[in-house]
Each structure stands twice: as structure tokens, then as C-alpha cells.
Amino acid sequence: MSHQSAFPWLSTDRLDTTLAKVGILASVLLLSLRLFSTQVLFVVIPVTTGLACALYFGVHRRQTTDTEYPALPRWVIDILPAVVIVSLTALVGTMYAAGGRSPSSYFLAGAVGTAILTQALLADESDLSPSLIVTQVAVSAVVIRLSVLFVTPGFVGVDIWTHVPVFIDSIVDTGSLSAIADSKYSMAPFYHTIGALAALVFGSARLGVYLSLGVVVPLSVLLVYATGVMIVSPRWAAVATTLFAFADQYIRWGLHIIPTSLGLVFFLGAIYCVTRLCITNERWVIAVLMVSSLATVFTHQVSTVILLIFLGIAAGALTLARLRGRPALRPSRESVAGVAGVFVGTLLVTGASWSVTPWYADEPFLYEILNTLRATVIEEAGFLALAGGNGSSTGGTESVSQLAGVIPFVEWLGFALLLATGIVGGLAMLRTDHPMSLTLTYLASTATMFVAVFGLSLFGIRTILPGRWMAFMYALLAILGVVGLANLSGTASKRVLVAVFVLLAVSYPMSMVVAEKATLDSPAFEETYPRFSYTGAEIAAVETISAIYPSDGTTDIDSDHPYRTLFGRLGGYTGWTTEVGEAGPTRDHPVIRRAYQSHGPAVVHATDPPRSVLAPMVNAERLCPPTRNKVYTSDKVSMCTSTPVTGGAV
């Protein structure tokens, strides 16, 4: 019976439907934030939340009959695995022929995702083969990532240029981990150690990282299936596996393979263990959870923070469920003690490790990071302090394309679908008979990460690198999402199910594989996002210039962003973004100009007024005036230096 209330439609008896109503109301209110900011997420998140809550509320009373589940004919389901493999073959072939990604390779990657999701979502129960679907997912995940890595010269991303050519190569050269002793990885050496051993086995650091961590990261999607199948049926676990494998943020860490990538693998292991401990009480699971957690601490700091939050919430949820949960679904004492013990142990090891980890300043990492966080909260935080944050339509630069305003909506469609299914799943979890500890852990963890990614960014707090959290959150969202889809399959009408499944199968992979973070090497929207990979000529220029213009570690050099980062990491320079006035560069630093600046959305700084501008909007002769010496050139890159002879003008 409902309680007497001033708002009778807000019943506490049915928390799921009450929250759905609140969600609809909140989404309308949140839409008003769009008036204060151009952030596309102020549209995407409220609309997605509102639609998901409305969908859940609209169908929650129904009970689907068996005949209502939409299914494709068996021959279609049977032929799709071959379609997936042939598409992957075509993908490899086209990328090899084109020397990189092209529109056809994006389409093929999306088509592979669609073909797999179609099997998982639209196969009749008797035709369904979860193991075959998961095999296709694993093969696709590896092929899509490795084909990109092997056709791209050098590396994809920014940080990897420090981790592999500097740290791992140094370890291999010296035969000792002392090569990273002065970095913040001195107490987190797992990634570099694995990379170094793989480099020894495969003959080069690049090949070593690609054939070890580059394979482990996509294959770790198996842990999503293993986790999902403990909560939902194999069909939905296979769907979760596919959703995660094709998520842009997960693809990102399979291309830009850095300690975050390995931290994500360990996090997936931790999710598996915690989920299992919510249901069972095996000691080996506690042992594996401890190993995964400590491995995270010894791999990557941001991943450690995310893991600690997840473990803390899980420990609290298990404790609460032990005290208040339904007797039949209470977690065992061993499980509660196990998760709490792992949390405390990981916290202590983290504190001890960080207190002796060097960072940029003299103080240890723990002190410095707390100081930075405090300074951010006190000095920088402010409501809607969003510049440069996630979801900005053009990254705050002057755009060269009118389409730039539409592109984020295309990209964020995949995220919106994942979020929508996750919201439906979260509401469904509140009603179905999952253990309380499991429900609390998933909902609270996902909500906390969501706040960390989007909520704190709203206040300008980005010290915690919210972009790094998204892939971790996606893992939980994918599992919550399939709880929602499983729930819908039992409540929604056939027409609704067909609409949802077709939208998901077609739009999700297509949107995700063209998103900015999934295409760092060669953005699908090449006029909007810069590529974070380099041509052979661009890499050779850094190597040659660093040889003929050696840096003492503080030598300045200017170029566009992101090319300047390559000079910083591979060349050992202090790389600056070129600052250009009406007459040319405003600083005396050598300027590196590359052909990409003529057409790609690389960024330079302009004065009067000070702002970031896309390089194609600046005349080439302003960036590298003929009045400077031109002391290096290839067909694609040149270096010009200031000279007292002309003083900048002839």
C-alpha cells in the first residue's frame, strides 16, 4: 500500500517506477542547462534519460508472451558469422590497400558490429549460439585494433610515445627497470615490464607492445561475457560483450595502448570477481580479486582510483546487504570480509606506494596529487566551467566546417544508446530478484563514475582525468544495459522490441566506430578532429631534427598541437603550440610546419585576441615566414628558425 503523500505519484513502494518518473522530470529540468552552455551533452544526456525512463515506465506492467520475441529466419542467423569474417577480411584488405583507414573501413567495422549484434539480439532461442557470437566478438575486436596499429606508422596517441620509445626501450637497452626509477611508474612498473619482456621476445618495443598488450586488451572482453553470464542469460551476456567491444572508449585503449589500457583489463577482472562474490563465496575469487587490485595499483594511478571507488562501493553494498538484505540472497560472511579486506588492503598498498612514488615536484605523488586536487577545487572549479571538457562540439577552436555542430550528435548516439539501455537496466535491477549487494554495487558504482565523468566536469574539475574513466564506466553500463534489454524483452511489445533492437544493432556500432576516440589514428570526421598518429615523414622529421638540433631537455620548439607533443616525447624538447601574430611567430623558438597544417584541424595559438585557431585558417607563410631560415625540409615537414639577419622582415 502506498504511503499518504503530497505527491501520490511518487510512491516508495515501487522504487523503479518512482525513479523513472523522477528521471523524466529531471531530464526536462536538465535540458534547461542547454541555455547556459553549447555542450552537446546537455541535450544528449537529458533526452536519453527522459526517453529511457519513459520507455521503462511505459512497458513495465506488460508481460511479453513467448511468441512476441522478434526473431530472424534461421538461414539469416546462420549466414551472419560468415558475413562477419568476410567483412573483417575486407576490412584488413582495404586498410592495407589504402595504407590506413578510409570511409569503407569505418563502414565495414560498423557492419561487423551490426552483424554480430543482429545474431545476439534477433536469433531465435533455438538458433542462438552465444559461444559463436563471443568468438566473433573476440576475433573482431583483435582484428579491428591490430589492423589499425599495423598500418599506422609509429604509435597512435600521445602518451604512448613516452611509454614505449622512451621507457620500454630504455629498459630493454639497460636491461634494468632502473630506467623508469625517476618516473611515477617506479612503483607501477607492470605495463613497462610486460612491454620490455615482449620487446625482448618479439625483437622490438613496438611489436612487443602490439603483440602482447595490444592483444590482451581486446581479448579481455571475454571477462565481460563471463561477468554478464552470472547476471543474465548467455544471449544478453553476448550482447553486453558486443556492446563493450564496439564502444569507442574501449576501442580507444586498444589503439592507444598505455597503462590505462592494462588498468582497464584488471578492472574487468575486478568486476568479474566482485560480481561473483555477490553471488558466491569462493576463496579463489577473493584471491584473484586481490591480485587484480594490486596489479592495478602497480600499473596505473588513475585506474587505481577508479578501482578503489568500485571496491569501496562494493564493500559497502555487500555489508549493507549482509545486514539488511533478504536472507536467501544475503552475501556470505566470507564474501563481505573478502571484498572489504581487498578494499582495505588495496587502499593501504596504494597509500604506501604513492607516498614513495616520485612525481614532477620534489614531494611524493600522494602529496602532489592531493595538492593539485585541492587547488583545482578551490581555485578553478565553478559551475559550467566547461571549456575544453568532454563533449565540446569543436574543442573551443574556430571551426572550418559548418557540419561541426552536427557531428557530436552522430558520435554521441552510440553513447546515448548505451546510457539509455543502462538506465532501463538500472531501473529493472531495482525490481528484479538480483541480490541486493549486486544491485547496489552496479548502480552506485555506475552513478559515481557518471558523476566523476560528467558531473565534476560540469564544475571544471578535470584533475581526475574524467576521460580516462569512461571506458571503465562503459563496462558497467554494458552489463546494466543488457539487464535492461532482458527486462524489455519480457515486457515490451514486439513492435517496441523490433524498434529498439534494430536501432541498437544498426546505430550503436556505426556511431561508436566513427566516434572521435575510436578513430584517434584517422578521424572519420577529419575536418573536426586532429589525427593523433603521424606519417612516416612526420616521424622521420622528429628523429632527424632531434639528431641535428639536439635538446638538452629544456630546448624549446614550436609546432601545432598535437605534433608538438611528439617533439616533446620522442625528441626530448619542450614542445610548445606555435603562437602566431600578424607578422609571424611571436617567439624565437624554431617552428616546425607540416603539410597537415594546411588541411587538418591541428591547433595553433593566435594573438590579438589570444585564442586557439585551426591551423588551416592561418596562412602558411605566417607560420613559417620566408624571412626565417629554413634549415630542414622533407616533402611534408619543414623547420624554420629565426635569424638576426632579417630580423623577421626583408
Partner 1 sequence: MSESRRSDESTDSAAGDENGVTTRARRWPAKIDTDLGVVVVGVVGSASVLLSGISGPVSWLLGVPFLLFWPGYATVSALLPMAAGIDTRPNATADSTELLSPGWPARLGLSLLLSTVVVAIVGIGIDRVASVRLTPAVVAISVVTVAGVLVAAYRRRRLPLTARAAPLGTGRPRIGSWISRSGSVQSSRHRWTLVLAVVLLFATASFVAATPAHEASYTESYLLTENDTGSLVADGYPTTFVVNESRPLAVGLKNHEHRSITYTVDLVVEQVGPNGSVVGQQRVDRFRVNLAHGERTVVERRVYSPLTGDAVRLEARVYKTSAPPITDEPDQTTHLWIEVVEPTSG
Among positions 530-569, residues that touch partner 1 (CB under 8 A) are: 535-537, 540-541, 544-545, 548-550
Q: Which is closer to partner 1, CB of 45 or CB of 95?
A: 95
Cβ neighbors of 545 (< 8 A, separation 6 or more) are: 557, 567, 571, 592, 632, 639
Measured from the CB atom, the residue of 468 and 594 that comes closer to partner 1 is 594
C-beta of residue 265 within 8 angstroms of C-beta of residue 216: yes
71 scored as a contact of partner 1 (CB under 8 A): no
Q: Which of 46, 189, 312, 408 binds partner 1 (CB under 8 A)?
A: 189
If binding is defined by CB under 8 A, does position 340 make contact with partner 1?
no
As measured in angstroms, the least distance from the Cβ of 184 to partner 1 is: 17
Work out which of 64, 162, 233, 463 binds partner 1, going by CB under 8 A.
233
Name the nearest CA neighbour of 449 among 427, 464, 459, 430.
464
Residues 599-638 that bind partner 1 (CB under 8 A): 626-636
Q: Is 284 near partner 1 (CB under 8 A)?
A: yes
Place of cell 546494466: 480
The answer to whether the CB of 412 falls within 8 A of the CB of 41 is yes
Does residue number 75 form part of the binding site for partner 1 (CB under 8 A)?
yes
**Among residue numbers 146 through 175, which ones bind partner 1 (CB under 8 A)?**
147, 150-151, 153, 171-172, 175
Does position 209 bind partner 1 by CB under 8 A?
Answer: no
d(CA 167, CA 163): 5
641 binds partner 1 (CB under 8 A): yes
Contact between 448 and partner 1 per CB under 8 A = no
Contacts of partner 1 in 24-63 (CB under 8 A): none
- C-beta pairs of 605-609 under 8 Å, 24+ apart in sequence: 605/577, 605/578, 605/579, 605/580, 606/579, 606/580, 606/581, 607/579, 607/580, 607/581, 608/581, 608/582
In the list 22, 25, 28, 287, the residue contacting partner 1 (rule: CB under 8 A) is: 287
Paired strand residues for 376: none
Residue closer to partner 1, measured from CB, 307 or 545: 545
**CB neighbour burial string for 23-57, b if at least 16 within 10 angstroms, e if fewer:** bbeebeebbebeeeeebbbbbbbbbbbbbbbebbb
Please identify, using beta-carbon distances, which residue of 359 and 632 lies nearer to partner 1. 632
Tell me which stretch binds partner 1 (CB under 8 A): 21-29, 56-64, 73-81, 102-110: 73-81
How many residues belong to the site for partner 1 (CB under 8 A)? 116
Residue with smaller CB distance to partner 1, 414 or 625? 625
Kindly state whether residue 88 participates in binding partner 1, applying the rule CB under 8 A. Answer: yes
Residue type for position 429: M
State the Cα–Cα distance between residues 477 and 421, nearest whole angstrom. Answer: 8
Q: Does 337 bind partner 1 (CB under 8 A)?
A: no
- Check residue 277 for interaction with partner 1 (CB under 8 A): no
Return the residues of window 317-336 that contact partner 1 according to CB under 8 A: 328-329, 332
Q: How far is the CB of 596 from partner 1 (least distance, A)?
A: 13
Q: Which is nearer to partner 1, 9 or 284 (CB)?
A: 284
Site for partner 1 contains 433 (CB under 8 A): yes
Residue span 235-274 as binding mask against partner 1, x where in contact by CB under 8 A, dash where not:
-xx------------------------x--xx-xx--x--
The whole-angstrom separation of Cα 117 and Cα 363 is 50
Out of 229, 339, 477, 614, the only residue in the binding site for partner 1 (CB under 8 A) is 229
Name the residue with cell 542469460: 233
Q: Is the peptide bond before 625 cis (omega within 30 degrees of 0)?
A: no
Side-chain-side CA neighbours of 215 within 13 Å: the count stands at 9
Q: Which is nearer to partner 1, 200 or 385 (CB)?
A: 200
Q: What angle do CA 573, 574, 578 make, to 5 degrees?
A: 110
Among 19, 160, 295, 400, binds partner 1 (CB under 8 A): 295
CB 121 → partner 1: shortest distance, Å?
A: 16
Question: What is the nearest approach in angstroms of partner 1 to the Cβ of residue 360?
Answer: 24
Alpha-carbon 555 to chain mean position: 33
| Binding window for partner 1 (CB under 8 A); candidates: 41-49, 104-112, 196-204, 355-363 | 196-204
From the list 51, 54, 215, 320, which residue makes contact with partner 1 (rule: CB under 8 A)? 215
Q: Does 311 interact with partner 1 (rule: CB under 8 A)?
A: no
Q: Can residue 496 be called a binding residue for partner 1 (CB under 8 A)?
A: no
* One residue of 11, 38, 104, 193 binding partner 1 per CB under 8 A: 193
Q: 57, 161, 185, 190: which one contacts partner 1 (CB under 8 A)?
A: 190
Segment near partner 1 (CB under 8 A); pick from 45-53, 78-86, 403-411, 468-476: 78-86
Nearer to partner 1, 35 or 645 (CB): 645
- Which residues, at least 6 apart from 491, have a Cβ–Cβ distance to it below 8 Å? 59, 60, 61, 62, 63, 64
Q: Which is nearer to partner 1, 31 or 98 (CB)?
A: 98
Q: Are 334 and 453 in contact (CB under 8 A)?
A: no
Contacts 24+ apart (CB under 8 A), 467-472: 467/390, 468/260, 468/302, 468/303, 468/306, 469/302, 469/306, 470/249, 470/390, 471/247, 471/249, 471/250, 471/252, 471/253, 471/260, 471/264, 472/264, 472/267, 472/303, 472/306, 472/310
Pick the binder of partner 1 from 58, 70, 165, 234 (CB under 8 A): 234
- What is the full DSSP assignment across 507-549? HHHHHHHHSGGGGTTS-SSTTTS--SS--HHHHHHHHHHHHHS
From residue 591, alpha-carbon distances to 519, 580, 585, 622 in Å are 28, 10, 8, 11
